């Protein structure tokens, strides 16, 4: 494939290019937020936190969806590197006004925000408007649950949320029709033409080299050539190193455009997911087959975060509080790795996670696929997250449990995987052994709860004291016991 040094996207209805040829004042990993704020006519977008927590920087990015039509996604522009919107349409709050809406020119979501008294300041409002706009384009008459999910990633410190929720509900009644609907065919054509001339991006400016390969072969080649490069998929972890710690990345390999890493196969068992599919995509794919994973993804970050964050990134981070990891342990998932010259290998997730933010990934390797077997109908899997807030918060303690009972109601198989209790995701193996081939009954669970507390030596930190973590971990086991009785009659 050919190479290009130019990031191209659609802005204000036209193709907009940034050439990284040494003359630009931006490094390639400049965030979309900072780039927009450098333009005279796009200052509606705001920086609140620069770490994905407030939503003041929300923009909408439209790209070609699986059905060939445009897919509108709200993203936190403070975490999006410019090359990540290559080939897509960037929509900002300035683009929402149009004369077709009458004298005010306000888009339905803006109009309802005004009439419902949903806005007091110019800081959070543009972000709310953009989340509401994505909701408007994607849903007709959405449920309250869908509206709340769409707005979880936006914080307001004054109006209270009810007027905003009301505005969203009243606005989204028009099957997504607006002035963007009229220009969609042209936008689709522009996106198709950018796709046709698709090239691997090789960007070099301000002392940084940034690679955006479009194929796995190209990604593996670059990965081998630059083993120390910073790898990114969704950047929801990596971008914070730049925005909050001022880290400079000399070489970046961005996997977000590698098509093979976006493939998935959900028709067969085991299910396979490309490492770069986003968590929101994953959530929508596993609702029926892996309900515990779906339940966990519902409380993962916010919609803006899930629209970017990937499963490969959650595994690659190997954070002791990474929410996908305990569940992947419970599902006995495997991770497929590729190397340009050494080929591929597959490891059980438990062998892949080796320590605090450490994995078995070798220099030159990439995580390419996650393989998740669908449990048999007699196995119950559930996950739990303890955090200080329900929404948009990382775990203090998390757990995922798998249980299979025999015909007598004795434990045939049990997995108790915990996050936030050790330097890495860890199973309570002594407690598992204690529970195995014993009756699954409350007396036994109470003994097992004591063992869970003894088995771990968690840290105290700003989120919780170590004793609180132990109590939470043992109580989650009791909760699981209570849930097994209720939820699955076969157990």
Interface contacts to ligand FES, rule CB under 6 A: 47-50, 52-57, 76, 78, 119-121, 123-125, 156-159
Say which entry of ligand FAD, ligand FES, none residue 123 contacts (CB below 5 to 8 A, set by partner kind): ligand FES
Residue whose Cβ sits closest to ligand FAD:
313
Cα→Cα distances 148→45, 145, 171, 299, 391, Å: 21, 5, 14, 12, 10
Shortest spacing between CB 243 and ligand FES, in angstroms: 9
Of 82-90, 173-181, 225-233, 482-490: span binding ligand FAD (CB under 6 A)? 225-233
> Is residue 195 within 8 Å of residue 214, measured between CB atoms?
no
Beta carbon nearer to ligand FES, 242 or 426? 242
Helix (H) or strand (E) segment spanning residue 454: helix 442-455
Beta carbon nearer to ligand FAD, 128 or 300? 300
Which positions from 15 through 54 interact with ligand FAD, judged by CB under 6 A?
A: 51-53
Phi and psi at residue 275, to the nearest 5°: -65, -25
- The correct pick among 18, 232, 414, 421 for binding ligand FAD (CB under 6 A) is 232
Contact call for residue 326 and ligand FAD (CB under 6 A): no
User: Any idea how long the chain is?
Assistant: 491
Strand partners, 393: none
Of all residues in the chain, what percent are helix, strand and coil, respectively (each to 5)? 35, 25, 40
- The correct pick among 165, 187, 366, 416 for binding ligand FAD (CB under 6 A) is 366
Contact call for residue 317 and ligand FAD (CB under 6 A): yes
Say which entry of ligand FES, ligand FAD, none residue 120 contacts (CB below 5 to 8 A, set by partner kind): ligand FES
Contacts of 269 (CB under 8 A, 6+ apart): 373, 374
Per rule CB under 6 A, count of chain residues that contact ligand FAD: 30
Beta carbon nearer to ligand FES, 24 or 120? 120
Contact call for residue 253 and ligand FAD (CB under 6 A): no
d(CA 39, CA 60): 17
Beta carbon nearer to ligand FAD, 215 or 444? 215
Cα→Cα distances 340→42, 223, 231, 386, 403, Å: 42, 8, 16, 40, 39
CA 285 vs. chain centroid, Å, equals 14
Helices assigned H by DSSP within 139-269: 144-151, 162-171, 179-196, 216-225, 238-243
Beta-carbon neighbour count of residue 148 at 10 Å? 14
Q: Which residue has the tokens 């798998």?
A: 402
DSSP assignment string, 364-383:
TEEEEEEEEPPPPTTEEEEE
Contacts of 202 (CB under 8 A, 6+ apart): 3, 4, 5, 209, 210, 211
- The correct pick among 361, 381, 403, 416 for binding ligand FAD (CB under 6 A) is 361
Beta carbon nearer to ligand FES, 196 or 389? 389
First to last CA, the chain: 54
DSSP E strands in 349-437: the ranges are 353-355, 358-359, 365-372, 379-386, 397-405, 411-419, 426-427
For strand 251-254 and strand 208-212, is the pairing parallel, antiparallel, or unpaired? Answer: parallel
Shortest spacing between CB 212 and ligand FAD, in angstroms: 13
Farthest-apart Cα atoms in the chain, separation: 74
Q: Which two tokens stand for residue 244?
A: 């909050």
Contact call for residue 309 and ligand FAD (CB under 6 A): yes
- The correct pick among 236, 411, 431, 474 for binding ligand FAD (CB under 6 A) is 236
> Is residue 389 within 8 Å of residue 304, measured between CB atoms?
no
Shortest spacing between CB 312 and ligand FAD, in angstroms: 4
The radius of gyration of the chain from alpha carbons, rounded to an integer in Å, stands at 24
Shortest spacing between CB 279 and ligand FAD, in angstroms: 6
Contact call for residue 310 and ligand FAD (CB under 6 A): yes
Say which entry of ligand FES, ligand FAD, none residue 477 contacts (CB below 5 to 8 A, set by partner kind): none
Beta carbon nearer to ligand FES, 79 or 187? 79
Beta carbon nearer to ligand FES, 81 or 352? 81
> Is residue 366 within 8 Å of residue 452, measured between CB atoms?
no
Shortest spacing between CB 85 and ligand FES, in angstroms: 15
Say which entry of ligand FES, ligand FAD, none residue 309 contacts (CB below 5 to 8 A, set by partner kind): ligand FAD
**Per-residue mark of binding to ligand FAD, 377-396 (x: CB under 6 A):** -----------------x--
Contact call for residue 367 and ligand FAD (CB under 6 A): yes
d(CA 381, CA 292): 6
Say which entry of ligand FAD, ligand FES, none residue 233 contacts (CB below 5 to 8 A, set by partner kind): ligand FAD
Say which entry of ligand FES, ligand FAD, none residue 156 contacts (CB below 5 to 8 A, set by partner kind): ligand FES
Beta carbon nearer to ligand FAD, 370 or 403? 370
- Binding residues for ligand FAD, rule: CB under 6 A, are 51-53, 231-238, 255, 275, 300-301, 305, 308-310, 312-314, 316-317, 322-323, 361, 366-367, 394
């Amino acid at each position: 494939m050919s190479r290009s040094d130019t990031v191209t996207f659609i802005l204000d209805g036209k193709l907009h290019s940034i050439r990284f040829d040494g003359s630009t004042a931006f490094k390639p990993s400049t965030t979309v937020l900072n780039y927009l704020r450098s333009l005279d006519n796009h200052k509606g977008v705001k920086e609140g936190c620069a770490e994905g927590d407030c939503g003041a920087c929300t923009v909408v990015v439209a790209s070609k969806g699986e059905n060939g039509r445009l897919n509108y996604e709200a993203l936190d522009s403070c975490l999006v590197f410019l090359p990540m919107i290559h080939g897509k349409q960037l929509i900002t709050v300035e683009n929402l006004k149009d004369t077709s809406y009458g004298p005010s020119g306000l888009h339905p979501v803006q109009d309802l925000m005004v009439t419902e008294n949903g806005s007091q300041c110019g800081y959070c409002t543009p972000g709310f408007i953009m989340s509401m706009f994505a909701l408007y384009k994607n849903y007709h008459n959405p449920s309250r649950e869908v509206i709340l999910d769409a707005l979880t990633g936006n914080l307001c410190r004054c109006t209270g949320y009810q007027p905003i929720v009301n505005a969203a509900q009243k606005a989204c009644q028009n099957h997504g029709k607006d002035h963007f609907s009229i220009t969609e065919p042209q936008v689709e054509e522009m996106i198709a033409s950018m796709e046709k001339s698709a090239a691997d991006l090789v960007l070099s400016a301000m002392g940084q080299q940034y690679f955006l390969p479009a194929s796995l072969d190209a990604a593996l080649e670059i990965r081998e050539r630059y083993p120390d490069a910073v790898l990114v998929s969704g950047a929801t972890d990596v971008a914070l190193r730049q925005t909050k710690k001022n880290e400079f990345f000399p070489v970046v390999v961005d996997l977000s455009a590698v098509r093979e890493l976006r493939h998935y196969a959900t028709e067969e068992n085991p299910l396979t997911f490309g490492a770069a599919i986003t968590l929101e995509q994953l959530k929508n794919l596993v609702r029926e087959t892996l309900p515990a994973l779906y339940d966990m993804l519902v409380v993962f970050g916010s919609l803006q975060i899930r629209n970017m964050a990937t499963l490969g990134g959650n595994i690659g981070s190997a954070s002791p509080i990474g929410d996908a990891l305990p569940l992947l342990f419970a599902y006995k998932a495997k991770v497929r790795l590729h190397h340009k010259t050494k080929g591929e290998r597959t490891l059980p997730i438990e062998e892949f996670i080796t320590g605090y933010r450490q994995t078995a990934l070798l220099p030159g390797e990439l995580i390419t696929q996650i393989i998740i077997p669908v449990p048999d109908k007699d196995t119950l899997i559930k996950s739990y997250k303890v955090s200080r807030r329900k929404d948009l918060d990382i775990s203090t303690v998390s757990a995922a449990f798998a249980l299979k009972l025999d015909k007598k109601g004795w434990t045939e198989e049990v997995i108790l995987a915990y996050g936030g209790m050790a330097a890495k995701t860890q199973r309570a193996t002594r407690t598992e052994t204690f529970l195995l081939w014993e009756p699954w009954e409350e007396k036994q669970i109470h003994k097992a709860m004591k063992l869970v507390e003894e088995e771990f030596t968690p840290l105290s930190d700003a989120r919780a004291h170590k004793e609180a973590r132990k109590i939470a971990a043992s109580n989650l086991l009791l909760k699981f016991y209570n849930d097994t009785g209720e939820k699955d009659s076969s157990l």
